[in-house]
Amino acid sequence: MFRWGVLSTAKIGRDHVIPALQDAKNGVVTAIASRDLAKARALAGRFGVPHAFGSYEEMLASDVIDGVYIPLPTSEHVEWAIKAADAGKHVLVEKPLALKAEDIAPVIAARDRNKVLVSEAFMVTYHPQWLKVRELIAEGAVGRLRHVQGAFSYYNVDASNMRNRPELGGGGLPDIGVYPTVATRFSTGKEPGRLQATIERDPKFGTDIYACVKAEFDGFDLTFYCATQMAARQVMVFHGDEGFIEVHAPFNAGLYDHHRIELHNQNHTEATVFRFPDTRQYRLEAESFARAAQGEKVPVFTLEESVRNQKVIDAIYRASTVEGWVPVG
C-alpha cells in the first residue's frame, strides 16, 4: 500500500482528495501535517489517520509516508514540491503547480535528482469521460474538428478566500482557466500556436475575475471564458463537420452534473450518450499516481505537460495587455 501524507488541512483535501486517497485500492493516508498541530490532530481523527504533525518539515522527515499530496495555496506549491522531493517523497501537488511556466524548471530538477515522481493534480485527465472524448476525436467521430468551446464559472466574492487573494496565487485563470486549456490539449494531443485574450480584474481584490480567450491550434480554434463572479457554469463542446461532442460536467463531474457526454450527428437527428456512473476521478488519480510511484508503467500527468499548459496561461496574461495575437511559448 502506498502511504500518503497530506501537507495542510485545506478544504479541497478535506472535502474531496483525502476521502479519495482513503478509498483508493492501493493507498492509505498515514499522516497529516499542519502548521497548527491541533488542526492536524482534528483532521487526522476525523479520517482515522494514525499520525499528525505540527510542521510540514517534521512530516517530510518521517518514515511513515511514501509520498505527499500538497493542497497548499498556489504561491507555496513550487517551494513545498521541491522540499518534498528533496526529502525523497513522491509528490502529487494541486493545480496550478506554478504561476509561471519558468518556475516549474526547479521542480523538474528536484524530481530528476531525487528520482521521485512529481505530478500536478489534474484529476480530469484520469476520468474515463475524457479518455472517451479523446478516443472519439481520434477515430473521427465528429469528422474534421473545427472548433472547441469551453466555459467554467462560479460566484465568489469572499475577500478572505485564497481565490481572491493575489498574494496567494488567486485569480480565475490559475484556479479554473487551466481546465479548458488542459482538457483541449489532452483530448486533441495538440498545442496552440497563438492566442488573443481580454481580462477583467476586480478593482478591490486585484485578481482576474473574467477572461475571454481565443486560441488557434493546427486545424481548429478554441474559445473559452472563465469567471469567478458569474453564475456557475461548466461545459465543453468539440465541434466538427460531421458532428459534435458535448461534455456536460467536464470538470466537477458528479457534483456540477452527471458524468455523461453526448455525441451528436451532423443533422442533429441522433445522439449517442455515454454515461460514467459512480466514477470517482480523484480516486482514479490517486490510484494511478500510486501505481506509477511504485514503478508501474501507467500514464500520469507529467511536469513537462505542466510546463506546456502553464505556457498557455502565461500567454493569456500577455495577450490581455496588447492588441491582436501573441505566440504561445
Q: Which three cell numbers stand for residue 270?
A: 441522433
- How many residues are there in the chain? 329
Active site residue 95: yes
Q: Phi/psi at 108 (nearest 5 deg)?
A: -60, -40
- In degrees, rounded to 5, the angle at the alpha carbon of residue 24 between the alpha carbons of residues 20 and 28 is 90
The sign of the dihedral angle between the CA atoms of 121, 127, 132, 135 is positive
Burial 147-156 (b: 16+ CB within 10 A, else e): ebbbbbbbee
Alpha helix segments (H runs only) across 48-141: 56-61, 77-86, 105-114, 128-138
C-alpha dist (Å) from residue 35 to 8, 32, 41, 59, 315 = 8, 10, 11, 11, 35
Q: Phi/psi at 11 (nearest 5 deg)?
A: -60, -45
Residue of 11, 25, 89, 95 marked active site: 95
- Beta-strand ranges (E) seen in the chain are 2-7, 27-33, 51-53, 67-70, 90-94, 118-121, 145-155, 194-201, 208-216, 221-227, 229-240, 243-247, 260-265, 271-275, 326-327
Read off the amino acid at residue 92. L
Residue 246 in contact with residue 274, Cβ under 8 Å? no
Label the pairing between strands 243-247 and 229-240: antiparallel
Closest CA to 25 of 286, 292, 297: 286
The position carrying cell 526547479 is 106
Q: Which three cell numbers stand for residue 34?
A: 499542519
Active site residues: 95
